[in-house]
Amino acid sequence: MKKYVLILFVVLVSVLFTLHGEEKKMEFKKLNPEEARVILNKGTEMPYTGKYDNFFEKGTYVCKQCGAPLYRSSDKFSSGCGWPSFDDEIEGAVKHLPDADGMRTEIVCANCGGHLGHVFKGEQLTPKNTRHCVNSISMDFIPATHENSKKAYFAAGCFWGVEYHFAKKEGVIAADSGYMGGDKQDPTYREVCSGNTGHLEVVEVTYDPSKVSYEELAKLFFEIHESAQSNGQGPDIGPQYLSAVFYNNEEEKKTVEKLIDILKSKGVTPATKLIPAKAHPFYKAEEYHQDYYKKHNKTPYCHIYQKKF
């Protein structure tokens, strides 16, 4: 009798664990109407409008609905079709299904069944001769992690030019335009430009401290703008364009203060504000602001490098 009770107990525990696993698997993200139109109802976003079309950062693309990994950035390529293109998938992550039109092959997330797009073969675009044509809206992107990386925050006028110069610096992993310093959560560009939110245009610099020091970054900050200008930067006038450093700790603060003293000894009096970063979260700006000058093949008109140290 005890033997049968033990067997029954083991079976019940096994069933409960299975149900719990299925329950966890079904914990999907709530989709907005446009996401649902594409992911659930097999719609298609307009070409050249998706945020991952002309996007080539290192990382992993995951399903928007369930978070399952789908594609690696190393398999992404530029096909010119207007949608993100991959010539391979993470093994077992994508299911191929005959399309309702009887001509194409649909691709869906193997975990949740969410619609991704279609797969095409024989186009000779890459050696693998395969193109996964995927809707940006069907995915999220997780950047590659960089062990021991650090972040620094600099405001030096229009963030387009600031980002441009930091992105070129050796040792910088990423430079992202955004907003810091105000009270409103997740402000828009229009709101910041009104001058009423208290935010500054800021660039978040992710860097490898084994390749570039914080002091080198701070020096670059002072060398790409006129820190003595107190009402903006160049032709960009307004509180959102002020010179400021959002420091993460006392060491960073002392580094900037040392550089300010050096500039003062050379006859320059910076109007740069020193603000603790922990009191002001960084809000990444809208996608069209990221890599602005690179996207438009232009050089910053109000940020010119001048060696000062």
Percent of the chain scoring above 70 in pLDDT: 91
Q: Which of 109, 133, 193, 302 is catalytic?
A: 133
pLDDT at 129 over 90: yes
Burial class (CB in 10 A: 0-12, 13-18, 19+), 16: exposed
Is-contact 284 176, C-beta < 8 A? yes
Spatial CB neighbours of 297, under 8 Å, sequence gap ≥ 6: none
Every domain of the chain and the residues it spans:
33-143, 150-295
Confidence of residue 291 (pLDDT cuts 50, 70, 90): confident
pLDDT at 58 over 90: no
Candidate from 3-7, 29-33, 170-174, 251-255 with smallest mean pLDDT: 3-7
pLDDT at 107 over 50: yes
Q: Which of 63, 109, 158, 302 is catalytic?
A: 158
Question: How confident is the model over 137-188, as pLDDT tens digits?
Answer: 999 998 876 768 899 999 999 999 999 999 999 999 889 999 999 989 999 9
pTM, two decimal places: 0.59
pLDDT at 27: 64
pLDDT at 16 over 50: no
Active site residue 112: no
CATH number of 150-295: 3.30.1060.10
Active site residue 133: yes
pLDDT at 277 over 90: yes
Phi and psi angles of residue 250, each rounded to the nearest 5 degrees, phi first: -65, -30
Letter string b/e over residues 231-251, b meaning 16 or more CB atoms within 10 A of that residue's CB: ebbbebebbbbbbbbbbeeee
pLDDT at 300: 80
Query: How many residues are recorded in the chain?
Result: 309
Between 131 and 102, the higher pLDDT residue: 131
Q: Which H or E element spans position 15?
A: helix 2-25
Give the integer Cα–Cα distance in Å for 157 and 235: 9
Candidate from 20-34, 136-150, 157-171, 269-283 with smallest mean pLDDT: 20-34
pLDDT at 28: 80
CATH number of 33-143: 2.170.150.20
pLDDT at 144: 74
pLDDT at 108: 97
Q: Where are the beta strands (DSSP E) in the chain?
A: 59-63, 69-72, 76-77, 85-86, 94-98, 105-109, 115-121, 130-134, 139-143, 150-156, 172-180, 200-207, 232-233, 236-237, 243-247, 273-276, 283-284
pLDDT at 63: 95
Same fold, 33-143 and 150-295: no
Strands, sheet with 115-121, edge to edge from the N-terminal-most edge strand: 76-77, 85-86, 130-134, 115-121, 105-109, 94-98
pLDDT at 173: 85
Residue range 189-201: average pLDDT? 94
